[in-house]
Amino acid sequence: MSRAHPYRVPQVVIVGRPNVGKSSIFNWLAGRRIAIVEDVAGVTRDRLTYLMHAHDRFFELVDTGGAGQGDENAFSREIEEQIEAAVESADVILFVVDVQQGLTPLDEEVARRLLYVDTPVILVANKADNPTLAMQAGEFYRLGRGKLVVVSTVHNRGKEELLREICQRLPQPPDPDQTPPEPEMKLAIVGRRNTGKSTFVNTLAQAKRCIVSEIPGTTRDSVDVRFEIDGRSFVAIDTPGIMRRRSQQGPLDFYSVHRAQRSIRRADVVLLFFDATEPISRVDKQLAAYIAEQYKPCIFVVNKWDLVPQQTRAERWVRYLRETFRTMWYVPIAFIVGQTGKNVKALLNHAQLLFDQARNRIGTGPLNRLLRRALERHPPPLYKGRPAKIYYATQVGVEPPTIVMFCNNPAAFDQTYQRYLLGAFREDTPFAEVPIKIYLRRRQAKIPTPEGLPPEVLAELSQGEAE
């Protein structure tokens, strides 16, 4: 197991105005129908992801909603948030335009939004279904995005060129012969209003770096505070308190939520604060769901523990949290007094432990021996009368730890069985308290078999190929 050279799975994000064929390109590159394709604006709202393998590289392909849906669409604000979140996490951006409709003012608006993005952008001229249309694509050079790739999903034109351009722009894996610099952990402190987040940050910094007030909603924006403990550098991101959406009274409240979510995406570890004197609210549940959706390591922090009657036991709060957040049973729980600093040092040490867990790697051999044991303890059920088989697994990224399992049929493994495998991975890997992302992929001959597989796995793999 090693954390010397962490490598996150790169993301390739597809953006553009409505109806340029973003979802068609997503399905076309993925080689399967995942996104809904309709000639109506606003069909794609949430981001869709698919793990791709091309030119010996793994990356996540991300589909987004159409930019600039307009006020008539009730979900326009949410779609814009999804696009922004995807662009922030992107390693490569595919900016899709429509050759048949030509250059539009909305294309120019999307180009302006991408003008100051440091991420590599590939301009993809879609729907070039005949040579005449392909020649007309030259007008899109006016958008100033450099390389233009002309494609047609209908006639399967330009796919290899586009994949080659994507892989050339992906970040290179780390050099195993180089020692990386010691990373700086970013902590996002989130929670509903008046849970003591800013007081906690001030305790960390040992100075009044944030406004502290008992008035709910004092912090309107996210504030970064750098501090050191035992010679290690940290960044604490203090965030605005979040309220229920129907209680938001104006744009400031809306942007407070927006910035808090952005801080979660920026963070390495998230501290979700609860007030020990208050019951868990719907806002707490929404925040926890967003943290889980972003695959962020998290600690549930029960603050103001000094205000709780002496007879109240921590076990009651632990049981309360576990029953409320059943899918996040692996998340550690801390009890602190932010104002005095009680248990704060232990909390930070545990956060550093999660940071290290999320950056860990497990070798191919140990991972597959673990997988064999899990399959033997609880074999997958038959699928349509045929046995379901997982041939081997490999870890392809960190932050979050990302594991790809190659099998004979991904549809044969339902969510219940996938949860079982996740639990097995947590038991015997260094990922006990952090989110793990798993993918099931049908094994294909063009995907190389990783080195280090145990002999019993290679034997079963050979048998599967013979079948």
Q: What is the DSSP string of 54-84?
A: ETTEEEEEEE-PPS---TTSTTHHHHHHHHH
Q: Which CATH architecture has domain 185-358?
A: 3-Layer(aba) Sandwich (3.40)
Domains 11-169 and 364-466 share a fold: no
Q: What pLDDT is attached to residue 451?
A: 64
Rounded CA-CA distance 334/187 in Å is 15
The per-residue pLDDT for 173 is 77
Q: How many CB atoms sit inside 10 A of residue 394's CB? A: 21
CB 115, CB 107: distance < 8 Å: no
Structure tokens at 378: 């609880």
Residue type, 204: L
Q: What is the pTM of this model?
A: 0.78
Contact residues for 379 (Cβ-Cβ < 8 A; gap 6+):
none
Give me the amino acid identity at 128.
A
Residue 232 is predicted with a pLDDT of 76
In this prediction, residue 354 carries a pLDDT of: 96
The domains of the chain are located at 11-169, 185-358, 364-466
Element housing 161 (H / E) = helix 159-169
Cα–Cα distance measured from residue 33 to residue 37, given in angstroms and rounded to the nearest whole number: 9
Provide the terminal-to-terminal Cα distance of the chain, rounded to the nearest Å: 34
Integer Cα distance of 154 and 19 in angstroms: 15
DSSP 263: H
Handedness of CA 73, 74, 80, 85 (dihedral sign): negative
pLDDT for 309:
81
Is 44 strand, coil or helix? Answer: coil
Torsion-angle region of 175 (φ positive above 0: left; ψ -120 to 50: alpha; else: beta): beta
Tokens 């303890």 sit on residue: 377
pLDDT, tens only, 258-280: 778 888 998 999 999 999 999 99
How many Å apart are CA 343 and CA 336, to the nearest integer? 5
Contact by Cβ (8 Å): 108, 79: no
Per CATH, domain 11-169 is 3.30.1360.170: no
Q: What is the pLDDT of residues 100-124, one digit of tens each?
A: 999 999 888 888 888 878 899 999 9
Check residue 83 and give its pLDDT.
Answer: 67
- Residues 6 or more apart from 256 whose CB is under 8 A from it? 217, 219, 220, 221, 240, 241, 242
- Give the pLDDT confidence score for residue 4 in this predicted structure: 44
Residues contacting residue 120 through CB under 8 Å, at least 6 positions apart? 91, 92, 93, 169
* The dihedral sign for the CA sequence 399, 404, 410, 414: negative
- Is residue 458 classed as helix, strand or coil in its secondary structure? helix
Which tokens in the block code for residue 234?
């940290």
Evaluate whether the domain defined by 364-466 bears CATH number 3.30.300.20: yes
List per-residue pLDDT tens for the chain, 467 residues long: 444 455 788 999 999 888 899 989 999 998 877 654 444 344 333 457 888 989 888 999 998 876 555 544 444 565 566 667 777 889 999 999 999 999 999 888 888 888 878 899 999 999 999 988 888 888 998 888 778 999 999 999 999 999 999 999 998 877 666 666 666 899 999 998 889 988 898 888 776 555 555 545 454 456 778 877 777 778 888 777 766 555 444 444 556 677 788 889 989 999 999 999 999 999 999 999 999 999 999 999 999 999 988 777 899 999 999 999 999 999 999 999 999 999 999 999 999 999 999 999 999 899 999 999 999 999 998 998 899 999 999 999 999 999 999 999 999 999 999 999 999 999 888 999 999 999 999 887 555 666 666 666 555 555 555 44
